[in-house]
Amino acid sequence: MASTHASTQIQTAAVVTLVVYVKLLATQITQGFKKGQAGGKGPEDGGTGFSSMGPAAGGETMSTEDAAKLAASRRWDRILGNDLENIPVALIILWSCALVNAESTAFMVLACLFCVSRCLHTLMYMFGKQPFRSLTFAMGVVGTLGMAILTVATVFK
């Protein structure tokens, strides 16, 4: 029974890792695309850098279209930054919890909570939906913190 229990947790951790990685990869690709549209790629990538998006030399302001592209690029910078601040540590905790053979039902609920909340967080951030962006972020924190507590409780059992 214990090997089946551990196997289920490893399978869950593997699926959550795959889903979150694919989500992160899609975020990185989108962020790069938005940055390119805003003129934020380096000269070596065929871009002119963000300096081309600032006010014109004669004191003219940037066009509404360019301002929207810059705003979209900066939003995706923040989405990616949030992912990079939260996902790596959460995956370490997720795998630690799986490998110590923590209680299966609690682990699966917390792992799924983390996974779903990170996907929803990106959508809420992308569309600028508050308070849902904050709520989905908090759900991810609850899932991650719950797995950390479950890991510690299991190793001291």
C-alpha span between 2 and 130 (Å, rounded): 43
In contact, 121 and 140? CB cutoff 8 Å: yes
C-alpha span between 143 and 125 (Å, rounded): 19
Per-residue pLDDT of the chain (157 residues; tens, 9 = 90+): 455 667 899 999 999 999 999 999 999 999 999 999 998 877 776 655 554 555 444 556 788 999 999 999 999 999 999 999 999 999 999 999 999 999 999 999 999 999 999 999 999 999 999 999 999 999 999 999 999 999 999 999 9
* Structural domains of the chain sorted by starting position, each given as residue range(s) with its CATH number in brackets: 2-155 (1.20.120.550)
Query: Residue 45 has what DSSP assignment?
Result: G
Residue 132 carries which side chain, given as an amino acid letter? F
Give helix then strand counts, H and E, for the chain. Answer: 4, 0
CA–CA–CA angle 55, 81, 50 (5° rounding): 20
C-alpha span between 155 and 107 (Å, rounded): 14
